[in-house]
């Protein structure tokens, strides 16, 4: 079995995650170079100018040009990071959803301390929901009298998606703020009660992964683990039919 997790970034199975990872690597390379270079300078300075008999401090220090260049350089590099990486990546992540006709849509409704996954079924339309219908057997409050709800499927903590297919997830919360986090997908989005926010992703590998909650949501925050299973289209359909 492939090793997904370790010390450092988890494996990335998303189509968009490589860009994020690249930014993280570039950033850490930049930070390492800057810090190590600077640390060497610091150590040399500390040794060279230590107090010792016969050594005197100099009153008028020269005006150094190098630090100014360094500061300007850091500023320019940060501008480059913004324009070259962060803006385009985040724009893609936030503003460019996959076409709805090619994507699978799913609603994810978080609660203390579980993920309710709502699939629209074959018609692709989510049935109406009503908070007054919520019960242990019907965690999202699906209105079964709505024709669109007939083929809808809800699961708890089981998010299955087909591989190589874009998924649009409509995220909301029933009670407090949760944060939908798929470590291997480089997806994280707060779920604010009273609002629906969308996120999307496409898996390029199959496997059993997990959903984590990234925002403190109460005493069960630590165990708000969901299962994120990426499988072939056929297996996915089979699973859906099973769930019916």
Residues 36-75 that bind other proteins (CB under 8 A): 38-39, 41-42, 45-46, 49-52, 55-59, 61-62, 64, 67, 70-71, 74-75
- In the complex with other proteins, the residue whose CB is nearer, 79 or 243, is 79
- In the complex with other proteins, the residue whose CB is nearer, 82 or 243, is 82
Q: Is 203 in the site for other proteins (CB under 8 A)?
A: no
Tell me which of 225, 229, 239, 240 binds other proteins, using CB under 8 A.
225
Q: Which of residues 132-171 bind other proteins (CB under 8 A)?
A: 132, 134-136, 141, 168, 170
**Contacts of residue 222, Cβ cutoff 8 Å, sequence gap at least 6:** none
CA distance 173 to 191: 6
- Which range of residues in 27-35, 144-152, 153-161, 230-238 is near other proteins by CB under 8 A? 27-35
Residue 150's nearest CA partner among 121, 129, 170 is 121
Partners of residue 161 on adjacent β-strands? 230
CA distance 123 to 129: 16
Tell me which of 148, 153, 206, 214 binds other proteins, using CB under 8 A.
214
Minimum CB separation of residue 186 from other proteins in Å reads 5
CA distance 157 to 224: 9
Tell me which of 128, 188, 205, 235 binds other proteins, using CB under 8 A.
188
Tell me which of 152, 155, 160, 186 binds other proteins, using CB under 8 A.
186
Q: How far is CA 243 from the centre of its chain?
A: 27
**Contacts of residue 223, Cβ cutoff 8 Å, sequence gap at least 6:** 113
- In the complex with other proteins, the residue whose CB is nearer, 58 or 241, is 58
Kindly state the tokens that stand for 241. 């039919």
- Which range of residues in 148-156, 158-166, 211-219, 231-239 is near other proteins by CB under 8 A? 211-219
Tell me which of 100, 144, 150, 237 binds other proteins, using CB under 8 A.
100
Residues 178 and 191 sit within 8 Å (Cβ to Cβ): yes
3-state secondary structure at position 101: coil
Q: Is 99 in the site for other proteins (CB under 8 A)?
A: no
**Contacts of residue 140, Cβ cutoff 8 Å, sequence gap at least 6:** 107, 109, 116, 118, 129, 134, 154
């Amino acid at each position: 079995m492939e090793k997904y997790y370790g010390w450092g970034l988890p494996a990335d199975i998303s189509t968009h995650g490589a860009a994020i990872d690249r930014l993280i690597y570039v950033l850490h390379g930049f930070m390492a170079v800057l810090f190590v270079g600077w640390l060497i300078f610091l150590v040399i300075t500390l040794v060279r100018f230590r107090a010792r008999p016969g050594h005197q401090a100099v009153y008028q220090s020269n005006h150094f040009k190098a630090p100014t260049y360094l500061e300007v350089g850091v500023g320019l590099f940060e501008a480059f990071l913004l324009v070259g990486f962060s803006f385009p990546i985040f724009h893609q992540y936030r503003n460019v959803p996959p076409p709805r006709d090619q994507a699978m849509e799913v609603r994810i409704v978080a609660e203390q301390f579980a993920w309710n996954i709502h699939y629209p079924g074959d018609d692709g339309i989510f049935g109406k929901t009503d908070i007054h219908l919520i019960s242990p057997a019907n965690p999202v409050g699906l209105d079964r009298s709505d024709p669109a709800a007939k083929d809808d499927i809800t699961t708890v903590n089981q998010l299955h998606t087909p591989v190589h297919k874009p998924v649009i997830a409509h995220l909301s919360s029933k009670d407090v703020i949760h944060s939908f986090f798929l470590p291997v997908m480089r997806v994280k989005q707060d779920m604010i009660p009273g609002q629906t926010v969308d996120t999307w992703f496409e898996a390029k590998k199959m496997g059993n992964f997990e959903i984590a909650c990234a925002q403190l949501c109460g005493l069960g925050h630590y165990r708000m683990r969901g299962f994120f299973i990426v499988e072939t289209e056929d297996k996915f359909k089979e699973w859906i039919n099973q769930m019916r």
